[in-house]
Amino acid sequence: MKFQHLIDLYQLYWMFRSHAHQRLAWEDAAEARVARQRAEAQAAEQLKMMLDANPSGSLGHAKLDDEEPLKSSGLL
């Protein structure tokens, strides 16, 4: 009977501990949702500012490591 009582106390302890960890996980998830909404709003604002700065939406046709323009400008 004593041994079963110890096992019951051990299980009760771990139950409370797991509930505490679950609560922390819920709080972390809520903070992540808020951070995601904030990041999405910031990205939308940045897109709006980019389109205001260049209304045509054409940001150029530049390519990385394009040798033809480098040769024609005399850099290669």
User: In angstroms, rounded to a whole number, what is the distance separating the alpha carbons of residues 5 and 9?
Assistant: 6
Give me the pLDDT at residue 15, please.
95
Residue 38 is assigned to a structural domain of this protein: yes
User: In angstroms, rounded to a whole number, what is the distance separating the alpha carbons of residues 46 and 10?
Assistant: 53
Task: Give just the sign of the alpha carbon dihedral 32, 34, 35, 39.
Answer: positive
The contacts of residue 57 (CB under 8 Å, 6+ apart) are: 51
Residue 42 is assigned to a structural domain of this protein: yes
pTM exceeds cut of 0.85: no
Residue 16 is assigned to a structural domain of this protein: no
User: In angstroms, rounded to a whole number, what is the distance separating the alpha carbons of residues 37 and 30?
Assistant: 11
Number of domains in the chain: 1
Residue 30 is assigned to a structural domain of this protein: yes
Residue by residue, pLDDT tens for the chain (76 residues) are 698 899 999 999 999 999 999 999 999 999 999 999 999 999 999 888 877 776 665 556 556 666 776 777 776 6
| Domain region containing 47 | 25-53
